[in-house]
Amino acid sequence: MTLSAAYKAVIFDLDGTLLDTLTDIATSMNHALNGLGLPGHEPEAYKLFVGEGSYKLAERALPEDRRDPETISFCEASFLAFYEKHWRDATQPYHGIPELVTRLHGSQIRMGVLSNKPDDFVHRCVDAFFLRDTFDMVRGAAPGMPKKPNPSTLTTMLERMALSVRQVVFVGDTGIDMRTGRSAGAFVVGVTWGFRDEDELYRDGAEALIHQPRELLRYLGMS
Ligand SMILES: O=C(O)COP(=O)(O)O
C-alpha cells in the first residue's frame, strides 16, 4: 500500500508536525526547572523530551534523582502556568504547512489533529494558526483519555468522522505517532522536519517519510 487516491482524510500530529513549538516549550520548562533551583536544557534537548504529554515532559526534563511523582507534578504545573502565557511567543507553522493545509481544505480531503499536548492548548494553537473549520476534529490529551501510542482516540475520531481506517493517512514526527497510526491500521507517514530522526520513524513503523509538507500530496493522489 503506497500511492492512492482512495484516501479521504489526513490526521496530523501537532507539535513537530504542523507547528514548531520547541522554543516556547523549552523556555517554559526551563523556567519551571529554574524555579526548582535546577538548570535548564538547550532547546534541542527538548526534541527528545516532547511527545508523550506534559507529565512525561517534566519527568524527562528533571534530573534522575528528582523524578519523584510530587516533584514531577509540581514541575508540570509550573511549566503549564508559564506556557499559558508564552505558548505562542515563538511558535509558528513549519514552512509549507499553511500551503498544504489550504490545498487540502480546498479539496475533498478531510483533516483532523491528534496530539498528546493538553487539549486546551491544542485547541488554542489550532485556532491561532489555522482558519476556522480547517479541521473536522481536534483532540489533545484529556484526563481519563489514553494518550498516543494508544490508538483508541484515533479510532474514535475516525468513527465520528464516519471513516474507515483504510481511508486515512496518519502523519507525525515521532515513533509514538508511527506506533499510534500503525496500531489503528492507518497508512503512516513520518515527517523529517520535526523532533525525531529517520531511524526512529522507520523503526516504529513509518511506511513513508516526507521531507517537505507538499510531498504528502503524492500519497493523496494530488500531485
Ligand atoms: O505535547 C506533547 O508531548 C506532544 O504533542 P504532540 O502529540 O502534538 O507531538
CATH, residue 49: 1.10.150.240
* Mean pLDDT computed over 124-143: 97
| Of residues 126 and 223, more confidently modeled | 126
Q: Is 15 in the pocket of ligand 1 (CB under 6 A)?
A: yes
Which residues form the domain of 187?
Answer: 9-20+91-219
Q: Which residues contact 196 (CB under 8 A, 6 or more apart)?
A: 16, 47, 48, 51, 173, 174, 175
Q: How confident is the model at residue 1 (pLDDT cuts 50, 70, 90)?
A: very low
Is residue 183 one of the residues assigned to a domain? yes
Say how many domains are in the chain.
2
Q: Are residues 147 and 210 in the same domain?
A: yes
Q: Is 115 in the pocket of ligand 1 (CB under 6 A)?
A: yes
Q: Are residues 144 and 45 in the same domain?
A: no
What ipTM score was computed for the predicted complex, to two decimals?
0.96
What's the predicted TM-score (pTM) here?
0.96
* Mean pLDDT computed over 186-207: 98
Q: Is 117 in the pocket of ligand 1 (CB under 6 A)?
A: yes
Q: How far is the CA of 181 from the centre of ligand 1 (A)?
A: 14
Is residue 61 one of the residues assigned to a domain? yes
The cell 496518519 sits on which residue? 170
What's the number of CA atoms in the CB half-sphere (13 Å) around residue 50? 31
pLDDT at 138 over 90: yes
Q: From the alpha carbon of 194, which atom of ligand 1 is closest?
A: 9
Q: Which residues contact 65 (CB under 8 A, 6 or more apart)?
A: none
Is residue 106 one of the residues assigned to a domain? yes
Q: From the alpha carbon of 177, which atom of ligand 1 is closest?
A: 7
